Amino acid sequence: MPETHSEKLIHTELLIIGGGPTGATAAIHAARRGLSTLIVDAQQFPRDKTCGDGLTPRAITQLDRIGLAATITDRYLSHGLKLHGFGGSVTAPWPDSAFGTVGSAMPRVELDALILDQARRQPEVSLIDGVAAIAVEFDGAKVSVVTLANGVRIKPTYLLVADGVRSTFGKLLGRTWHKGEVYGIAARSYCNTPRSTEPWIHSHLELTDDTGTIQPGYGWIFPLGDGRANVGCGALSTDRRPAKINTKKLLHFYAQQCRDEWDFGQPDNVASALLPMGGAVSNVAGANWMLIGDAAACVNPLNGEGIDYGMETAELAVSLLDEGKDFSLLWPFVLREHYGQAFLLARTAARLLTYPQLLQKLGPIGLNKPLGPVLMPAAARLMGNLVTEEDSDLVARAWAMAGTVVGRFRGSSPLWS
């Protein structure tokens, strides 16, 4: 008979639900502040996570802050993005910004274990894995006890919920996803290729299915430096304009189209997922708890990256853990201050891209001479949100101005409301 722990009550200053990049990073920062920290994850590590495995300079910056950037970039390093489609190709090196000019990629089964191991090396951090958090009790407005599937009860001072895109525990706390906002549907696979050390990631903006019909999606090839590339495809969707594509089927066709150029083997380990983006969730905080990372929909609507935002929100949330603070209004405010304008603008641009006619009109201009080589590096910089407040060049100023205008028109849109 399995052992039950119904009598056990564990006290901890910080409980983190979810040990992915977001939760594990939060634990590292909390340990630096001397907080006794317990991570609970439903799965045992190493575990896989459906992802493109791409790491932009923004993510590398965060990995550097927890001492892991060199381990990752020593193995594989990317200089930027090559965009293809509509009869053209444009190379967009990572811009020379505060985030640096180095990107990478690493299979999540390895990356997540690496970050979690780094967390576990801190004496303040302990881990319970292979057990889900399934219930919550309140004492007034505060979460008082969290119960695990094995009966263990945990009494935390603070709670960070980093339980990923579905956020099953977040739902117990009232987290609601606004499907009227743009969201992603995507599939990834692993393909063997002799070009796995090529230092550029690739994206195809013009995808066709097996009948030659253009599909409302994009494809990616992210070399991994280990004899493989992460090959995937995705599309943007809203509940009004759902992308009517079978991502797994499209992925197989895409890999086949690129097979000769990359000498691909058969796509392996194909998996697909939905992706709430750009802060399109509400109820992300309470008196002593905050949702971070994917649980708070901190994913860039224009490129689907969320590892960097997960790690950033982890550090931000930990920096607020002080006695006497109530996070109910503070956390949504902090999220809006940091990401509100960029995410709202990106969500608006992504929404426009759900009209397939638009990409077909703009694609040939953006990916061909004479305008492509000028426009696309700037577009790639904006897509990657590699613009900092300190940047004052023309592109950064135009983006900030667009943000103000869009903010005026879509001010009531649900961003962590």
**Residues at the interface with ligand FAD (CB under 6 A):** 17-23, 40-43, 49-54, 59, 132-133, 162-165, 168-169, 186, 188, 232, 273, 275, 293-294, 299, 304-308, 310
Place of tokens 């606004």: 178
The dihedral through the CA atoms of 338, 93, 251, 271 has a sign that is negative
Our CB check for ligand FAD shows the closer of 41 and 406 to be 41
Our CB check for ligand FAD shows the closer of 41 and 124 to be 41
Backbone angles phi, psi at 304, to 5 degrees: 75, 10
Our CB check for ligand FAD shows the closer of 20 and 372 to be 20
Least spacing, CB of residue 227 vs ligand FAD, in Å: 19
Least spacing, CB of residue 187 vs ligand FAD, in Å: 6
Least spacing, CB of residue 117 vs ligand FAD, in Å: 14
Least spacing, CB of residue 251 vs ligand FAD, in Å: 10
d(CA 166, CA 273): 10
What are the Cα distances from residue 22, in Å, to 98, 149, 265, 270, 291? Answer: 22, 22, 32, 24, 10
Least spacing, CB of residue 99 vs ligand FAD, in Å: 13
Our CB check for ligand FAD shows the closer of 354 and 372 to be 354
Our CB check for ligand FAD shows the closer of 224 and 367 to be 224
Least spacing, CB of residue 184 vs ligand FAD, in Å: 7
d(CA 366, CA 204): 13
First-to-last C-alpha distance (Å) of the chain: 45
Tell me, rounded to whole angstroms, the distance of Cα 319 from its chain centroid.
21
Our CB check for ligand FAD shows the closer of 15 and 35 to be 15
Least spacing, CB of residue 319 vs ligand FAD, in Å: 18
132: its two tokens: 């889900």
What are the Cα distances from residue 197, in Å, to 71, 144, 193, 293? Answer: 16, 49, 9, 29
Q: What does DSSP assign to residue 294?
A: G
d(CA 133, CA 163): 10
Least spacing, CB of residue 278 vs ligand FAD, in Å: 12
Contact 151, 228 (CB under 8 A): no
Our CB check for ligand FAD shows the closer of 12 and 22 to be 22
Label the pairing between strands 228-237 and 217-223. Answer: antiparallel
Segment holding 184, helix H or strand E: strand 183-192
Residue nearest to ligand FAD (CB): 306
Least spacing, CB of residue 129 vs ligand FAD, in Å: 8
Q: How buried is residue 260: exposed, middle or buried, by Cβ count under 10 Å (0-12/13-18/19+)? A: exposed
Label the pairing between strands 228-237 and 207-208. Answer: unpaired
Q: How buried is residue 39: exposed, middle or buried, by Cβ count under 10 Å (0-12/13-18/19+)? A: buried
Q: What does DSSP assign to residue 94?
A: P
Least spacing, CB of residue 168 vs ligand FAD, in Å: 5
Q: How buried is residue 176: exposed, middle or buried, by Cβ count under 10 Å (0-12/13-18/19+)? A: middle
Our CB check for ligand FAD shows the closer of 133 and 349 to be 133
Our CB check for ligand FAD shows the closer of 29 and 88 to be 29
Our CB check for ligand FAD shows the closer of 275 and 302 to be 275
At residue 136, the 3 state secondary structure works out as strand
